Amino acid sequence: MTSIAPVTGVPVASAERPAPQPRSAYPVFRPITTRWMDNDVYGHVNNVVYYSWFDTAVNAYLIEQGVLDIHAGTTIGLVIETQCNYFAPLAFPQTIEVGIRVARLGGSSVRYEVGLFAQGEAVSAAGGHFIHVYVDRETRRPVPVPEALRTVLQGLVVGS
């Protein structure tokens, strides 16, 4: 369904705003501690920090699982799309619990979905996604998701 933007007259797609997710929507969690510098002048974590938490949580999980070698691996993931919705403020000092799931596991790409929860809260304060395309480190050309990585990611696929 589309509507017309009142000022420009350009059609605008209308979609319902995503809702906060419950903890049960994510199979894996990683803690992240906020830092003093994460807060902005408005007294809450600045929006750009949320994206760094997405990267930190997913990549740390993959490193811990032994399927990502950031120094010598021949395959790397490059972000081609990212998005975030904000539902409640987060601020220093808080511990954030980052929920991770995989919404789509393709031949050379993965759509990670991430929920950010204030410690102990039942629903997410923010939620978003990013898509990695896996490429050869040298040529930067897409390659199939390596089998060991695929095996780990299959455990995170929504509904698995």
| Burial classification of residue 51, based on how many CB atoms lie within 10 Å of its CB (0-12 exposed, 13-18 middle, 19 or more buried) | middle
CATH number at residue 94: 3.10.129.10
- Spell out the per-residue pLDDT of the chain, length 160, in tens: 444 444 444 444 446 889 999 999 999 999 999 999 999 999 999 999 999 999 999 999 999 999 999 999 999 999 999 999 999 999 999 999 999 999 999 999 999 999 999 999 999 999 999 999 999 999 999 999 999 999 999 999 987 5
Total tally of structural domains belonging to the chain: 1
Convert the pLDDT of each residue in 64-80 to its tens digit: 999 999 999 999 999 99
pTM comes to 0.87
| Burial classification of residue 72, based on how many CB atoms lie within 10 Å of its CB (0-12 exposed, 13-18 middle, 19 or more buried) | exposed
Whether 92 is in a domain gets the answer yes
Whether 67 is in a domain gets the answer yes
Q: Which is it for the CA torsion 73, 98, 52, 144, positive or negative? A: positive
Question: Residue 139 in 3-state DSSP?
Answer: coil
Whether 1 is in a domain gets the answer no
Whether 10 is in a domain gets the answer no
- Structural domain including 103 reads 18-154
Whether 8 is in a domain gets the answer no
Please provide the size of the chain in residues: 160
Whether 105 is in a domain gets the answer yes
Mean pLDDT of the residues in the chain? 91
